Structure 1
Amino acid sequence: MVEHEVLQADAHRRVVRIGDTVRRPMHPWSASVHEVLGYLADVGFPFAPRVLGIDDQGREVLSYVNGDSGGDGWARVVDESGLRAMARLLRDYHDAIAGFRPRTDAVWSSGSAPPRPGELVCHGDFGPWNLVWRGTRPVGVLDWDHAGPRRPIFDVAYALEYVAPFRDDAESMRSMHHPSPPDRRRRLEIFAAGYGLTSLDGLADEVIDQQRQVLALVRRLAAAGQQPQASWLTDGTVAATEAHIAWSVRHRDLFGG
């Protein structure tokens, strides 16, 4: 009997596992994402799922990566070895994708602008929930829907928002599995070193800048009626994001750099 498991039941994006495959809805940007994943397979990057085709329901078929993901990822990056490994994986991805040149007509979830000088195709949603973990070792990168051309520091800053984290003590302990208030400066340093940065100068400001970029993108997609962003305008998500940015600005001194 083929194993069938619902991995995500959101109305706008139902994801299921069937045997050793994952079936996900297609989007206008899926062809561009498939090119990225195909390129990664060609250059031997082992941490991304492989594109296996389109099924008879019009869903993309990807290889299943075995391990823990989703909410399990938070506890893995509390551990400093997991934090360091996550940073190293991000650098490995950026090194692997550096030679990729998307088609001039490529469409991404964020738009259709081609890469500018200094940009590469970032993952765009590089959080601990989108990694597959075995212990404190990440073995896969999931959910490439937000891939698109950006400066590499965007992925670094996006990850740091959640793993430093750029959140207050209460949320860090309640939602991110920290047993006590985190030493944010130390965690910033660990991640930066794992990625290969030689300086923290301006890094905290990059995190705040990407928070603002993401909020602006959410508003633009919501205005176009795209889900789940449209629902975030009314369910409190956008208001919470605004509050997170305000907290980051007020507590900028916690992060140094």
Structure 2
Amino acid sequence: MVDLEMLQDKPHRNVVRIGDTVRRPLQPWSASVHELLLHLEKIGFPYAPRVLGVDEEGREVLTYVEGESGADGWAKVVDERGLAAMARLLRDYHDAVRDFRPVAAAGWAGGAASDSASDGLVCHGDFGPWNLVWHGLEPVSIIDWDYAWPARPMHDVAYALEYVAPFRDDATCLQWLAYPSPPDRRRRAEVFAEAYGLSGLDGPGGSGLDGSALVDEVIGQQEAVWERARRLAAQGMQPQAEWQESGFLDRTAERIRWSRDNRDLFAPV
């Protein structure tokens, strides 16, 4: 009997594990993502699934990575050891794609086919704790590459910080994100930024950690991701169209307002 597990069962996104493989629907930008994953395999980057091809049902076939992921990831980054490990993995990934220049014409979910990484690199685009596979407090793989796109490295850093600082109110932290008490958001942002080595790449001002500028970066990426989701929803893409209909994008706009109103939790005013 074939070992089969449903990983995600949605009308627009049916993802299954069959043995040691994952089968996922192809997207308009899949060729670009596959080029990225093949690059990571070629250079020996160990923290990404491998592309095995397309099956008889027209689904992409990737290697399955054993471990904890999805909702289990939130508790991993509550501990500062997991938080720092996540940041180090992001830096390792950015270093791995520093010289990668895609040629696929399929484009990206986050931008048009004409986009290039000439002013940055190909970011993961959805680098949250749920999209990592964990062994204890160590992330061993990055998964779900659908939102990869060429951007400044800071986009991935700011995106991750939104969720792991986190840029959420105390009630959300306690009820949904596994925190036993309200987090010290400023401290957590500093831990992540320092573990990533922010001052050595493209931190605000190019040197040192400017907390206020970092908050601006996070709010800027929140707005960029929100605008991208609205654009994809208007094109009928899923799950963004569902997000629009359900009011999720309106709630996202409220979160952006919360970030602006509570920036003093993250950096000196």
CA drift at 1:87: 0.1
Using the alignment, how far apart are the partners of 1:146 and 1:44 within structure 2?
22
The number of residues matched between the two structures is 257
Q: Which residue in 1 is equivalent to 2:161?
A: 160
Which segment is superposed worse, 80-89 or 117-126?
Answer: 117-126
Counterpart amino acid of residue 28 in structure 2: P
Inter-CA distance 98–237: structure 2 relative to 1 (3 Å threshold): same
- The unaligned stretches of length 5 or more in structure 2 are 200-207
Deviation at 1:254, TM superposition (A): 1.1
Greater shift in the superposed pair: 160-169 or 99-108: 99-108
Q: Distance in 2 between matches of 1:64 and 1:191?
A: 28
* Residue 214 of structure 2: aligned partner: 203
1:247 lines up with 2:258 in the alignment: yes
Q: Name the TM-score, length of structure 2 as normaliser.
A: 0.93
Distance 1:35 1:233 in 2: 30
Residue 211 of structure 1 contacts residue 245 of structure 1 at CA under 8 Å; is this kept in 2?
yes
Cα distance in 2 for partners of 1:21, 1:95 equals: 27
Q: Indicate how the Cα distance of structure 1 residues 11 and 83 shifts in structure 2: closer, same or farther if over 3 A, else same.
A: same
Hey, what's the Cα distance between the residues in 1 that align with 2:223 and 2:113?
A: 20
Change (3 A) 1:119 1:56: same
One-letter identity of the residue aligned with 2:196: Y
Matches within 5 A, 1:1-257: 1-103=1-103, 105-110=105-110, 111-115=112-116, 117-198=118-199, 199-201=208-210, 202-256=213-267
Q: Supply the AA of the counterpart residue of 2:217.
A: E
Deviations 1:228-247 (A, max 9, x none): 10111121211110110000
Aligned mates of 1:236, 1:178 — CA distance in 2: 26
Q: Retained in 2: the 8 A contact 1:94–1:122? A: yes
Asked whether the 8 Å contact 1:104–1:114 carries over to 2, the reply is no
Q: Which runs of 5+ in 1 are unaligned?
A: none
Aligned partners of 2:129 and 2:25: how far apart in 1? 22
Report the 3-state secondary structure (helix = DSSP H, G, I; strand = E; otherwise coil) of the residue aligned with 2:134: strand
The answer (yes or no) to whether the contact 1:87–1:192 under 8 Å persists in 2 is: yes
Amino acid at match of 2:99: G
8 Å Cα contact 1:84-1:191 kept in structure 2: yes
SS of 1:234's partner is helix
Q: Please, what is the CA RMSD of the aligned residues? A: 1.1
- Identical-residue share of aligned pairs (%): 62
Q: Provide closer, same or farther for how the CA distance between residues 116 and 94 of structure 1 changes in structure 2, counting only shifts above 3 A.
A: closer
Deviates more, 1:114-123 or 1:217-226: 114-123
Shift of 1:78: 0.2
Deviation at 1:116, TM superposition (A): 5.1
2:246 alignment partner, SS class = coil
Give deviations 1:172-227, integer Å, cap 9, x for gaps.
11111111000000000000011001333111110000000011111111111111
Q: Which runs of 4+ in 1 moved over 4 A?
A: none
Secondary structure, counterpart of 1:245 in structure 2: helix
Distance in 2 (alpha carbons) for counterparts of 1:39 and 1:117: 17
By how many angstroms is 1:113 displaced? 3.2
Counterpart for residue 203 of structure 2 = none
